[in-house]
Amino acid sequence: MKARLIRSFEIAPAVRHFEFEVLDVEQFDFAPGQFVSLSAVIGGKEITRAYSLASVPSGNRFELCLNFVDDGHFSPLLFAMEPGDESIWLVRLAISCGGSRWASPF
Ligand SMILES: Cc1cc2nc3c(=O)[nH]c(=O)nc-3n(C[C@H](O)[C@H](O)[C@H](O)COP(=O)(O)OP(=O)(O)OC[C@H]3O[C@@H](n4cnc5c(N)ncnc54)[C@H](O)[C@@H]3O)c2cc1C
């Protein structure tokens, strides 16, 4: 499933809050403690990283709070995203103890 960035804003140096919407679904349900796995093709390679959900369910939206990792592969891409950007895939919704509710391959 594709995710579109709605907006992001700085909350501290190298820390931003991001609001996304999941495309083509009306409702994106999750529970406290769950995280999403986001994927993107970077330099021709698919890269996936986990991010904890930082919001309550609201329609098809979800929010994240992210640290910028200087020499990272994925976080610089997220920090470079502009509103309307749909370059991110939401591939998994999971809980830290190992459960997953669904997966959507590239
Ligand atoms: C269950 C789970 C939930 C997570 N939730 C969040 C979240 O809510 N917000 C968030 O920002 N990240 C979260 N992470 C971390 C996230 O998945 C990535 O690891 C992080 O964004 C770095 O990815 P990258 O590709 O930019 O860096 P990489 O390319 O993976 O790393 C590059 C270099 O930076 C180092 N590095 C990696 N991460 C950090 C870091 N955080 N601080 C300093 N150095 C680092 C690595 O050791 C490596 O040397 C979570 C990880 C897990 C497993």
Read off the amino acid at residue 95.
I
**Residue 1: count of CB within 10 angstroms of its CB:** 16
Q: Which pair of tokens denotes residue 40?
A: 């993107």
Q: Which atom of ligand 1 is nearest to the CA of 64?
A: 8
Q: What is the pLDDT of residues 45-83, one digit of tens each?
A: 999 999 999 999 999 999 999 999 999 999 999 999 999
Percentage of the chain with pLDDT > 70?
A: 89
Q: Is 60 in the pocket of ligand 1 (CB under 6 A)?
A: no
Give the CATH number of domain 2-103.
Answer: 2.40.30.10
- Ligand 1 center to 79 CA (angstroms): 13
**Residue 88: count of CB within 10 angstroms of its CB:** 21
**Strand-strand pairing, 2-12 and 88-95:** antiparallel
DSSP state of 98: S
In the chain, what are the domain boundaries? Answer: 2-103
